[in-house]
């Protein structure tokens, strides 16, 4: 095992925090600090791991937030068996591996920092064997082309050469550095058809060897899909439902510039995929590179069987400028929420010159009070109503969709249809491309104030919603409503369900939320798992404890009932710089004995907050 070197975001001064006034004296870390972090870059202040202050102390809370984004430079050479420190691993736990990806490095050795969304992908694997009562842990960087360019494999030193969409460089080439879409493969992970893939928002997935976590290389899953369609599977027809016009001409002119100059792929594969357990298909979606600059959006949906044979492909051209991160599907539809954006001309000039992040070329478009929802036919030949998919449903609320938990449709005997979507959304007023996670690209620092709205503004933060739409047999929308899911208004995100009931009417949904126990960080980072029963509208919670946070929960199905299984969640004990894998009993959420087992990751492998994970059962 190689030695660990950790680095962090370090502020020159602490920004103002909600509900807290900081005096000049409080800008210095508390004197009662013990620190065990080695630094190899420029001199940086000592960090508080333990203090004598209360959990609500603004200094402590500020540093706790920084420790969620600790850089981890070490990798495992062989799996490490984790120590069980609470409970025991159930003998009937399904054998398999929990994969979790996210950024692993934020600060290089030459004075540059990057936004968490631009951090190189660091893949963690928890291999669970219930019969042995054992969990083995592995962690390695995904060796993308960009990672191998920016990390010296001999010395382990990093130098960021490309800024990424959300960052600028403090060292190295700035002006004229046009390679902005560097693929860091840090957003999501899926194992399908025997291949373990790490995905990023706008690039080709990277394939990983599932046992060793060694990088196999790029796996261009959508390359040459038109040739596959000619095989005649399910008719083998690619339905392109496009409006055409002047913007198609503009798109053709932009494509060679974006690809040749800015190294952007013609089609950007989105990081969020879906699995249809009933048809046993992997669903992916791509958008066109030029969509970032034009007032139209082109989305192509792909459905693959377990051998990566393309079973269905649909392309839709939508006359709106949209930014899609996550999406939904039902038996008959793909569902897109029209997160409206617009081109920022001054920001575009600065972005193209390298002075500001590329993402500053875009801003949210809050000019309309409603939210457009596009119901796109999965199988156009099977459409039973006359609804025109080009006309969106206008939800009576302006909301920016972040993540989807589930969506399903039901028809009654008269042909009327109801569609429900359970998701996490926030307000247009809060969402800001250049401030996500509180990162300030001008200073290269993190400010937790952005993620924690002031009192009375909590509704602007991510929260769970239920969107209901009712249609008559002709496809005309009779009603569309948006309400807080289960009347739950606490800021929450990362909604998940038992994957067995995906695209079917579900009873339970789980999400990461906050207890509000820390006055300075009342809403984020999350420290609580919420279980919502959408049938009886109840909510029960489990909280990890003071100065400890969690990421996305994931459900592992076991039995016949919807909540029969296990919940996995990673705990980030920032006060002592430790990570733990926690196994929860979904049926006991809200009870004192919800924790089944807790396992400790060695301190030398403490890792940053992950984004999205995947459970790959061996069966």
Binding-site residue numbers for Fe cation are 239, 325, 403, 612
Check: CB of residue 607 under 8 Å from CB of residue 124.
Answer: yes
Categorise residue 73: left if φ over 0, alpha if ψ from -120 to 50, beta otherwise.
alpha
Residues near 174 by beta carbon (within 8 Å), at least 6 away in sequence = 168, 354, 355
Binding site listing: 239, 325, 403, 612
Three-state DSSP at 594 gives coil
> Which candidate, 556, 560, 561, 551, places its Cα nearest to that of 596?
556
Check: CB of residue 427 under 8 Å from CB of residue 406.
Answer: no
Check: CB of residue 518 under 8 Å from CB of residue 54.
Answer: no
Q: Which residues pair with 393 in a beta bridge?
A: 373
Check: CB of residue 193 under 8 Å from CB of residue 308.
Answer: yes
| Per-residue H/E/C for 68-131 | CCCEECCCCCCCEECEEEEECCCCCCCCEEEEEEEECCCECCCCCECCHHHCCEEEEEEEEECC
> Which candidate, 295, 380, 379, 288, places its Cα nearest to that of 342?
295
Check: CB of residue 518 under 8 Å from CB of residue 451.
Answer: no
What DSSP state is assigned to residue 519? S
Check: CB of residue 110 under 8 Å from CB of residue 432.
Answer: no
> Which candidate, 208, 215, 283, 310, places its Cα nearest to that of 616?
208
> Which candidate, 307, 284, 375, places its Cα nearest to that of 338?
375
> Which candidate, 437, 421, 439, 409, places its Cα nearest to that of 521?
437
What DSSP state is assigned to residue 403? E
The DSSP annotation for 220-284 comes to -TTTTHHHHHTT-GGG---EEE---SHHHHHHHHHHHHHHHTT---SEEE-S--EEETTTTEEEE
Residues near 438 by beta carbon (within 8 Å), at least 6 away in sequence = 65, 446, 447, 448, 449, 450, 451
Three-state DSSP at 49 gives coil
> Which candidate, 207, 94, 87, places its Cα nearest to that of 498?
94
Three-state DSSP at 577 gives coil
Query: Distance between CA 27 and CA 32 in Å, rounded?
Result: 14
Using CA atoms of 427, 431, 437, 442 in order, give the dihedral in degrees to the nearest 10. -150
């Amino acid at each position: 095992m190689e030695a660990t070197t950790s680095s962090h975001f370090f502020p020159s001064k602490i920004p103002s925090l909600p509900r807290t006034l900081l005096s000049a004296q409080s800008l210095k870390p508390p004197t009662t600090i013990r620190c065990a972090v080695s630094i190899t870059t420029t001199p940086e202040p000592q960090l508080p791991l333990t203090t004598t202050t209360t959990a609500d102390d603004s200094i402590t809370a500020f540093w706790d937030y920084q420790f969620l984004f600790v850089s981890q430079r070490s990798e495992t050479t062989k799996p490490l068996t984790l120590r069980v420190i609470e409970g025991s691993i159930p003998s009937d736990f399904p054998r398999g591996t929990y994969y979790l990806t996210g950024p692993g490095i934020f600060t290089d050795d030459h004075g540059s920092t990057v936004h968490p969304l631009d951090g190189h992908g660091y893949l963690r694997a928890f291999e669970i064997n219930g019969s042995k009562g054992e969990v083995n842990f592995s962690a390695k960087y995904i060796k993308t082309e960009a990672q191998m360019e920016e990390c010296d494999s001999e010395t382990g030193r990093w130098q960021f050469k490309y800024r990424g969409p959300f960052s600028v460089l403090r060292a190295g080439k700035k002006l004229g550095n046009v390679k902005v879409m560097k693929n860091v493969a840090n957003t999501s992970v899926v194992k399908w058809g025997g291949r373990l893939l790490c995905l990023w928002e706008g690039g080709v997935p990277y394939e990983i060897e599932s046992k060793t976590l060694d990088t196999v290389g790029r796996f261009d899953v959508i390359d040459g899909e038109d040739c596959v369609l000619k095989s005649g599977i399910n008719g083998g027809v690619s339905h392109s439902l496009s409006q055409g016009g002047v913007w198609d001409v503009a798109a053709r002119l932009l494509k060679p510039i974006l690809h040749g100059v800015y190294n952007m792929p013609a089609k950007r594969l989105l990081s969020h995929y879906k699995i249809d357990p009933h048809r046993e298909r992997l669903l992916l979606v791509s958008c066109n590179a030029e969509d970032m600059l034009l007032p139209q959006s082109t989305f192509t949906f792909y459905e693959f069987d377990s051998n990566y044979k393309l079973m269905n492909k649909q392309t839709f051209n939508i006359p709106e400028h949209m930014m899609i991160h996550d999406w939904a599907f039902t038996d008959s539809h793909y569902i897109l929420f029209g997160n409206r954006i617009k081109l920022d001309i001054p920001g575009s000039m600065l972005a193209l010159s390298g002075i500001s992040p590329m993402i500053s070329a875009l801003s949210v478009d809050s000019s309309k009070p409603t939210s457009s929802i596009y119901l796109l036919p999965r199988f156009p030949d099977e459409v039973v109503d006359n609804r025109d998919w080009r006309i969106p449903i206008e939800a009576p609320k302006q909301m920016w969709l972040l993540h989807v938990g589930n969506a399903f449709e039901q028809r009654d005997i008269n042909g009327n249809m109801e569609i429900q979507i359970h998701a996490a959304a926030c307000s247009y007023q809060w969402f800001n491309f250049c401030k996500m996670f509180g990162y300030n690209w001008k200073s290269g620092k993190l400010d937790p104030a952005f993620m924690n709205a002031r009192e009375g503004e909590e509704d602007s933060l991510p929260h769970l919603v239920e969107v209901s739409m009712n249609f008559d047999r002709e496809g005309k929308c009779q009603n569309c409503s948006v309400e807080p899911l289960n009347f739950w208004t606490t800021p929450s995100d990362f909604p998940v369900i038992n994957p067995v009931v995906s695209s079917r009417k579900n009873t339970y949904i789980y999400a990461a939320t906050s207890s509000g126990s820390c006055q300075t960080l009342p809403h984020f980072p999350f420290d609580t798992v919420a279980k919502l029963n959408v049938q009886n509208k109840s909510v029960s919670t489990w909280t990890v404890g003071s100065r400890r946070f969690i990421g996305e929960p994931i459900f592992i199905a076991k039995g016949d009932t919807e909540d029969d299984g296990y919940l996995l969640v990673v705990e980030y004990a920032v006060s002592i710089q430790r990570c733990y894998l926690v196994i929860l009993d979904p049926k006991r959420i809200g009870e004192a004995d919800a924790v089944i087992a807790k396992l400790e990751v060695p301190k030398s492998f403490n890792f940053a907050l992950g984004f999205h994970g995947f459970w790959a059962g061996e069966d």
